[in-house]
Structure 1
Amino acid sequence: MPEITTAERAGVGPDGRPRPTEDRIVVLDNAVVLLDGATSPTPRERDGGWHSAHLAAQLRSLDPDADLADQLADAIARLAAEHGLTPGDSPSSTVAVVRWTDDVVDALVLADSPVVVFGRTTEVVSDDRLRDLRGKVAEVTAWRNREGGFWVAEADPAAAHRAVRRSWPRDEVHTVLMATDGVSCGVDDYGLFADWRSVLEITSAKGPEAVLDAIREAEANDPERVRWHRPKVHDDQAFAVLRFTP
């Protein structure tokens, strides 16, 4: 099993008030699962935090030999059946999964929670469909789980098979980073870090909390969200570092 360190921090709601995090990290014997529940624009009992928590519970065992997308599809279907969720009118979550065996490391990314793999090269496994859609349409949620839009874990199990997936021989991977967009924004939006290798260097020197600290400090210096336009001053943050021994 790789050495795994994590860092998590709750953000604030659209009203600026503190509230429980909607991000989740689940560490299993053979995998790490990371989810980011979508913040609801209006209060609802079953919000993104509810969805990410319940989907995380459905994903607490992953068969090392079964297809990852099939297993995610089954989890989405079970959750929808147990709670009567309706496609198009239900909370949702991003999903990132890294699973390993003695021979292979697999990654699955659905929506904007990237996985970064360091080995012979650096490979960013990202699902950019949501990012590409923003700025093109006014109502992004209307394009959820639709052709030409973006795909996310909600109530339609077919979305699982639209995930971005990669695999590597295990002996070619030495470190993997997993992040929700409250962390990846430090690279993709704010430019606080030159690239993901810079993030890796910080985690190696100071630990993953230092990455979260740098992002929060930058956001605190832009409280009116002028420099970086964003729906909340501080988003939830979830960050996992997996170090594979030779």
Structure 2
Amino acid sequence: MIVAGAESRPGSAAPNEDLLLVADAWALVLDGITRYPDDGCVHDVPWYTAALAETVAVHMSGPPRPLAEVLTAAIEAVNARHAPTCDLANPVTPGATAALVRSRGEALDWLVLGDCAITWRDRDGKCRTETDDRLDRLADPPRGPGRYPVEYIAQVRNRDNGYWVAAADPGAAAMAYTGTAEGVADLLLCTDGLTRLVERYGRTWPDLMALAADRGAGALLDLVREEERNDGAPARKRHDDATAVLLRFADHPFASL
């Protein structure tokens, strides 16, 4: 597994709440959930994403285990670090969405929880994308500007028929979408600050994979910022933290790009 590019940029002057981490045989991106007031925690969102990434790294270095189990153990470990000072039962306790991959010879394990995304091309150039759109499929969300009220979040976050994120409930990891792929040529992990290129601006994943392979992960971040600046009717958040990690595999036909 070759890291062909990895970059993260904040969406504003506020600290970047995205995080990426890459090792020899695995990689992850995390997208910290923008903080609500009165979340019961003395830590900020970057603390949470850093703590979660660190504990994922610890558990990935041990004996191989399913990625959902790795994420479960990581959530439990972070809980132990801040339960003495924080109210982990608070419905908006800090959390993150996640995308995680691990290479095992010819196989590639993947996990997505929340609205991060993983896209890969096989050796024939065919593109496949995995993401978790349950937040967008809520049955009857509140209407109007701004974020969902805390009372609504308490009903749908990490609940059946709602949506799932990595926060204080280790059981959320079992609800992640997971799988194994073979014959992967190259692969892109990204947070939803980048997936808006497809969801909002009409780009396609094959086009984005080709752009990243040709000009690097940073070109994708340049593109999303350009689209955002030219957006005449932006959503409530014009710019979001955006992260991309491009991985290649040495024996694939795009390795020389």
- Both proteins in one fold, TM over 0.5: yes
Structure 1 equivalent of residue 31 of structure 2: 36
1:216 aligns with 2:225: yes
Q: 1:60 aligns with which of 57, 61, 65?
A: 57
Q: Post-superposition shift, 1:89?
A: 4.3
Q: Is the 8 A contact 1:39 1:49 kept in 2?
A: no
Q: Post-superposition shift, 1:64?
A: 6.1
Between the aligned partners of 1:180 and 1:136, the Cα distance in structure 2 is: 25
1:207 aligns with 2:241: no
Between the aligned partners of 2:213 and 2:25, the Cα distance in structure 1 is: 23
Q: Is the 8 A contact 1:113 1:180 kept in 2?
A: yes
Q: Which segments of 5 or more consecutive residues in structure 2 lack a partner in the other structure?
A: 143-147, 252-257
Q: Bigger CA drift: 39-48 or 69-78?
A: 39-48
Between the aligned partners of 2:106 and 2:216, the Cα distance in structure 1 is: 28
The one-letter amino acid of 1:229's match is A
1:137 aligned counterpart, secondary structure: coil
Q: 2:233 aligns with which of 227, 231, 242?
A: 227
How many pairs align?
232
Distance 1:178 1:64, change over 3 A: farther
Q: Is the 8 A contact 2:108 2:180 kept in 1?
A: yes
The one-letter amino acid of 1:160's match is A
The one-letter amino acid of 2:24's match is D
Superposed CA deviations along residues 32-88 of structure 1, whole A, max 9, x for unmatched, are: 011000001338742322211111111113146211111110110111112105142
Q: Bigger CA drift: 213-222 or 43-52?
A: 43-52
Q: Post-superposition shift, 1:132?
A: 1.5
Pairing 1:1-246 to 2, within 5 Å after superposition: 1-12=1-12, 18-42=13-37, 45-61=42-58, 62=60, 63=62, 65-84=64-83, 86-87=88-89, 88-119=91-122, 120=124, 121-133=126-138, 136-138=140-142, 139=148, 141-142=153-154, 143-169=156-182, 172-191=183-202, 193=203, 195-222=204-231, 227-230=233-236, 232-246=237-251
Q: Post-superposition shift, 1:101?
A: 1.5
Distance 1:182 1:22, change over 3 A: same
Structure 1 equivalent of residue 255 of structure 2: none
Structure 2 equivalent of residue 15 of structure 1: none
2:161 aligned counterpart, secondary structure: coil
2:119 aligned counterpart, secondary structure: strand
Q: Post-superposition shift, 1:242?
A: 0.6
The one-letter amino acid of 1:132's match is R
Q: Post-superposition shift, 1:236?
A: 0.3
Q: Is the 8 A contact 1:190 1:228 kept in 2?
A: no
Q: Is the 8 A contact 1:5 1:208 kept in 2?
A: yes
Q: Percent identity?
A: 34
TM-score (norm. length: structure 2) = 0.84
Q: Post-superposition shift, 1:11?
A: 0.9
Q: Bigger CA drift: 39-48 or 60-69?
A: 39-48
The one-letter amino acid of 1:57's match is E
Between the aligned partners of 1:9 and 1:179, the Cα distance in structure 2 is: 12
Between the aligned partners of 1:242 and 1:136, the Cα distance in structure 2 is: 38
Q: Post-superposition shift, 1:117?
A: 1.7
Task: Compute the RMSD of aligned alpha carbons.
Answer: 1.8
Superposed CA deviations along residues 139-161 of structure 1, whole A, max 9, x for unmatched, are: 36231100110000001100000
TM-score (norm. length: structure 1) = 0.88
